[in-house]
């Protein structure tokens, strides 16, 4: 049993690196996912993950599969999409989700087109689906750095972030400069999506951000509790996903996201807060 759980990580360096990288992601990204969920912006993370692709493609065209070049390009593209979508919906008076959907479809198509001009299907699938097992040193440093930065920022900006989500009018009237915190927050989301992209690819980068967050909603009644629960779920998903992928010979990125998805289903059914079972057991009193 112990060998099943620890053997692969002891034996193979690349699995250890993958585990460390995913754990770094798991510490920082899920709390951001909790805030995205509470702001009803769950889709925004997805849009950002696709939106960074043209930037990554540009980096790739200039310097090949270099972490630095692709990250700089992706950061730039992510910020443009994040700010552009907000500005666009304000300027046109349209709904933000419509503007976001349009932006991310264009970005995804543009990214794939750019990459295909230079690269074969191997590189393309590497960029789209990631390769957890191929995480190299620069990528690992980037994940760890982003994770540390995010945790520090969350620790310092917790109060304004919560207030901005809960009661934006009050925040603005109290001089909390909500826009500034929102910007910082979006910047952190872009950074985390970029870090996750190294391991999970652009299509599943938000898997470790949103699924644990959505699942955590069923385990806690406070923002802080949700953040802790989401981190725990993400850590578990990372380790379990990697083990599953090793033992059953599954692709590792999707395995991690699938385990996180399984956690979500379990939480939805068995979670104490608004879980289906809890609701079903607490039938209205006097009923049958």
Q: For tokens 């620890």, what's the residue? A: 6
Segment lying near another protein (by CB under 8 A), choices 67-75, 145-153, 200-208, 215-223: 215-223
* Cα 60 off chain centre by: 22
Q: At residue 134, what are phi and psi to the nearest 5 degrees?
A: -105, 20
| Residue of 101, 112, 176, 268 interacting with another protein (CB under 8 A) | 176
The C-alpha atoms of residue 233 and residue 215 are separated, in whole angstroms, by 8
> Cβ 64 to another protein, closest distance in Å?
42
Options 106, 223, 244, 278; binder of another protein; rule CB under 8 A: 223
> What's the token pair of residue 227?
């953040």
The answer to the question of residue 226 lying near another protein (CB under 8 A) is yes
Nearer to another protein among residue 121 and residue 285 (C-beta): 285
Helix (H) or strand (E) holding 54: helix 53-63
With respect to another protein, which residue has the nearer C-beta, 193 or 231? 231
- The least distance separating another protein from the CB of residue 195, rounded to whole angstroms, comes to 25
| In the complex, least distance from residue 113 CB atom to another protein, rounded to whole angstroms | 37
Rounded distance, CA 184 to CA 204, Å?
Answer: 23
How many CA atoms does the CB half-sphere of 263 hold within 13 Å? 31
Strand ranges in 9-63 using DSSP code E only, listed in sequence order: none
Give the three-state DSSP class for 272. Answer: coil
- If binding is defined by CB under 8 A, does position 14 make contact with another protein? no
Alpha carbon dihedral 131, 260, 193, 172, in 10-degree steps, equals: 180
Cβ atoms of residues 261 and 211 within 8 Å: yes
| Residue 38 within binding range of another protein, rule CB under 8 A | yes
Each residue 150-169 as x (binds another protein by CB under 8 A) or -, in order, gives ------xx-xx-xx-xxx-x
Residue span 95-134 as binding mask against another protein, x where in contact by CB under 8 A, dash where not: ----------------------------------------
User: What is the sign, positive or negative, of the torsion defined by CA atoms of 169, 172, 175, 179?
Assistant: positive
Closest CB to another protein among 97 and 123? 97
Taking CA atoms, 65 is separated from 51, 71, 138, 150, in Å, by 18, 10, 11, 25
CB of 166 to another protein, least distance (A): 5
The reply to whether 186 sits near another protein by the rule CB under 8 A is no
Candidates 119-127, 201-209, 220-228, 240-248; binding stretch for another protein (CB under 8 A) = 220-228
Binding site for another protein (CB under 8 A): 38, 93, 156-157, 159-160, 162-163, 165-167, 169-176, 181, 220-223, 225-226
């Amino acid at each position: 049993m112990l060998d099943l759980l620890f053997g692969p990580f002891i034996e193979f360096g690349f699995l250890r690196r993958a585990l460390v990288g995913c754990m770094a992601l798991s510490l920082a990204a899920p709390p951001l996912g909790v805030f995205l969920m509470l702001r009803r912006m769950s889709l925004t993370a997805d849009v950002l993950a696709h939106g960074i692709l043209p930037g990554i493609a540009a980096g790739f065209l200039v310097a090949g599969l270099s972490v630095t070049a692709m990250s700089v390009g992706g950061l730039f593209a992510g910020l443009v999409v994040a700010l552009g979508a907000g500005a666009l919906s304000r300027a046109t008076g349209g709904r933000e989700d419509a503007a976001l959907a349009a932006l991310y479809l264009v970005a995804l198509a543009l990214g794939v087109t750019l990459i295909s001009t230079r690269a074969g299907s191997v590189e393309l699938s590497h960029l789209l689906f990631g390769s957890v097992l191929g995480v190299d040193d620069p990528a690992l440093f980037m994940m760890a750095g982003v994770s540390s930065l995010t945790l520090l920022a969350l620790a310092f900006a917790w109060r304004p972030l919560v207030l901005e989500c809960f009661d934006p009018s009050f925040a603005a009237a109290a001089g909390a400069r909500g826009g500034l915190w929102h910007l910082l927050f979006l910047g952190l989301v872009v950074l985390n999506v970029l870090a996750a992209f190294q391991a999970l690819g652009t299509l599943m980068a938000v898997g470790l951000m949103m699924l644990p967050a959505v699942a955590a909603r069923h385990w806690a009644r406070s923002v802080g509790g949700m953040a802790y629960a989401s981190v725990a779920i993400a850590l578990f998903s990372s380790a379990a996903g990697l083990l599953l992928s090793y033992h059953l010979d599954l692709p590792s990125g999707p395995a991690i996201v699938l385990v996180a998805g399984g956690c979500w289903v379990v939480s939805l059914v068995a979670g104490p807060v608004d879980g289906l079972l809890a609701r079903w057991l607490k039938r209205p009193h006097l009923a049958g």
